Amino acid sequence: MEYLREFYGSLSNRRKAILWVCLFFVLLSVVRIVAWVSKGGVPGPRQFTKKLASESIEEKKFAIYEVGRLGIKSAVPSLVKIVKEDPRPDIKRAAAASLGKIDKQQLVALLNETPKDVKYTVMETLIKLDRNNISYLMEKFNGEDAETKMLILSYVNLVTDNNYRDKLMSVSEDTQEDTAIRMEALRMTGKYQLDPATESRLWNLYYNDPDRNIKDLSYALIKEGKKAVNQTPAGPVIAR
């Protein structure tokens, strides 16, 4: 306290006046904040959830981001409704992202929605949240139309995971599948190192598949795969 008296006493009259003005505005700000809080001015979970239905785009966006950041589970039904019904892609994507942070299974369940804008938004969001979520897309692969299958393959192409190689080979071997999809799946297997099991399946396609393009691509992949294996540098020679 003595230090404050000395400090205040050392100030000129002008600086004392400035100090009091500053203290006045600080005090006024504190009073305003207290009054704002007492009137419910600081939004909580309930307020954010209510604002998800706001007509204001900016207010709605802010509420969407906040319920996701805070993990407010009570907001899940509203987020699902926004993803399914809101016509604005940016709002739909924001809601999907927050939904995925709060309850990923609810987001995955929306893959079953018929409207493609909903399904594609969900697919994009799942991959952005975690590329391991590609597995959910592959589980739905066989039941999708050609356009959606090609989109799923484009997401699979983002990763090199041996868990997907067998599925890609199975797609390329399915003679009932669209040729363009078979060709794309087969082409994608070329990014994996050729192993005996895959080579055997490629030879089977080359000799037995009814489609000439599949035959040619299979043979090309075998040649490229063997070439890559042969060019793999040998390990260091250890002197004895």
pLDDT in the model for residue 23: 61
In a domain, 105, yes or no: yes
The answer as to whether 48 is a domain residue is yes
Cα 165 to chain centroid, rounded: 22
Kindly tell me the burial class for residue 137, based on how many C-beta atoms sit within 10 Å of its own C-beta (0-12, 13-18, 19 or more). Answer: buried
Q: Residue 79 domain-assigned?
A: yes
- Contacts of 147 by beta carbon, 8 Å cutoff, 6+ apart: 116
CA distance linking residue 92 with residue 105, whole number of Å: 17
Residue 240 lies in a domain: no
Q: How many residues belong to the chain?
A: 240
Nearest residue to 126 via CA among 138, 144, 115, 114: 138
Tokens of 94: 């924001």
Tokens of 62: 């802010």
According to the model, what pLDDT value does residue 6 have? 65
C-alpha torsion 225→230→233→237, nearest 10: 140
What lies within 8 Å, CB to CB, of 89 at 6+ separation is: 117, 121
* Residue 144 exposure: Cα atoms within 13 Å on the Cβ side: 24
| Segments of the chain with pLDDT less than 70 | 1-8, 11, 14-43, 229, 231-240
**Burial grade of 10 (CB within 10 A; 0-12, 13-18, 19 or more):** exposed
SS3 of residue 43 by DSSP: coil
* 6 located within any domain: no
Domains: count for the chain? 1
Residue 200 lies in a domain: no
- Whether residue 220 contacts residue 185, with contact meaning beta carbons closer than 8 Å, is answered with no
| Structure confidence at residue 16 (pLDDT) | 62
Q: Which residue has the tokens 């399914």?
A: 84
Q: Would residue 88 count as lying in a domain?
A: yes
* pLDDT at res. 233: 55
Enter the pTM of the model.
Answer: 0.74
DSSP string computed for 191-214: GSPP-HHHHHHHHHHHHH-S-HHH
pLDDT at 113: 74
Distance CA 152, CA 62 (A): 31
Q: Do residues 190 and 224 make contact, with C-beta atoms less than 8 angstroms apart?
A: yes
**Residue 120 within a domain:** yes
Instruction: State which residues form the domain around 55.
Output: 42-129
Question: How much of the chain is in helix, strand and coil states, percent to nearest 5?
Answer: 75, 0, 25
Determine the number of helices (DSSP H) and then strands (DSSP E) in the chain. Answer: 14, 0
**52-105 pLDDT, tens per residue?**
998 999 999 999 999 999 999 999 999 999 999 999 999 999 999 999 999 999
Whole-number pLDDT of residue 231: 67
Domain CATH number, residue 51:
1.25.10.10
